[in-house]
């Protein structure tokens, strides 16, 4: 009986560890994708939607630093009265509830959750694919993809980002992060590929 209880407890602990994986270094793509499940999810999203892994991860880095439960900061009146958050963005991709619902209806991914990495990166892949389809933005253009991601397809089409110098600076950061991630990925891709091939 004790042996069975220990086995169950060990399994629960291992599953919890996998579910709450957090990269030790969010600035290093090799560290971010060190978990085999995360790498496989990133590959699957890239294969389905065509947006390179390094672009998807650069967007996710900017949005959440890979924190699964992050939300926009609470806003305060007079410094101590909470008045709510500026939006209902949540999770790895900081997806809005309404946009997430559109994604679910579009893909049929009915069990998707914003705080699950595989669902969040699939969402980013889907979003960037649609930015390419609707707006003609290259899937490799991290800067323009981020501007459309932040301001929405309609906002990007209207050029709302042109009046937001701060947002353009952030998008430039995403571009630089994407290029750095691409460089890192080239170096560690053989090891990452080996990690998901297994021993067979």
In a domain, 190, yes or no: yes
Domain count, the chain: 1
The whole-model pTM stands at: 0.85
Q: What is the pLDDT of residues 139-152, one digit of tens each?
A: 999 999 999 999 99
User: Domain containing 75 — which CATH number?
Assistant: 1.10.530.10
The answer to whether residues 130 and 153 touch, using CB atoms and an 8 Å cutoff, is: yes
Write out the residue range of the structural domain in which residue 171 sits.
23-197
Residue 7 inside a domain? The answer is: no
Domain assignment present for 5:
no
- Report how far residue 93's alpha carbon sits from residue 91's, in angstroms, rounded to the nearest whole number: 6
- Determine the pLDDT at residue 146: 98
């Amino acid at each position: 009986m004790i042996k069975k209880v220990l086995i169950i407890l060990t399994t629960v602990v291992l599953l919890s560890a996998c579910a709450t994986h957090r990269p030790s270094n969010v600035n290093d793509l090799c560290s971010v994708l060190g978990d085999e499940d995360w790498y496989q999810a990133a590959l699957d999203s890239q294969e389905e939607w065509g947006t390179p892994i390094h672009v998807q991860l650069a967007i996710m880095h900017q949005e959440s630093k890979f924190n699964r439960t992050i939300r926009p900061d609470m806003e305060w009146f007079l410094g101590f009265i909470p008045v709510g958050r500026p939006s209902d963005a949540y999770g790895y991709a900081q997806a809005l509830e309404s946009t997430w619902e559109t994604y679910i209806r579009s893909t049929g991914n009915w069990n998707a959750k914003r705080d699950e990495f595989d669902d969040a990166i699939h969402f980013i892949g889907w979003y960037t694919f649609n930015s390419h389809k609707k707006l003609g933005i290259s899937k490799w253009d991290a800067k323009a993809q981020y501007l459309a991601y932040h301001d929405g397809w309609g906002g990007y089409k209207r050029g709302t980002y042109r009046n937001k110098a701060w947002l353009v600076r952030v998008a430039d950061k995403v571009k630089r992060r994407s290029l750095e991630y691409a460089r890192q990925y080239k170096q560690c891709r053989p090891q990452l590929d080996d990690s998901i091939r297994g021993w067979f």
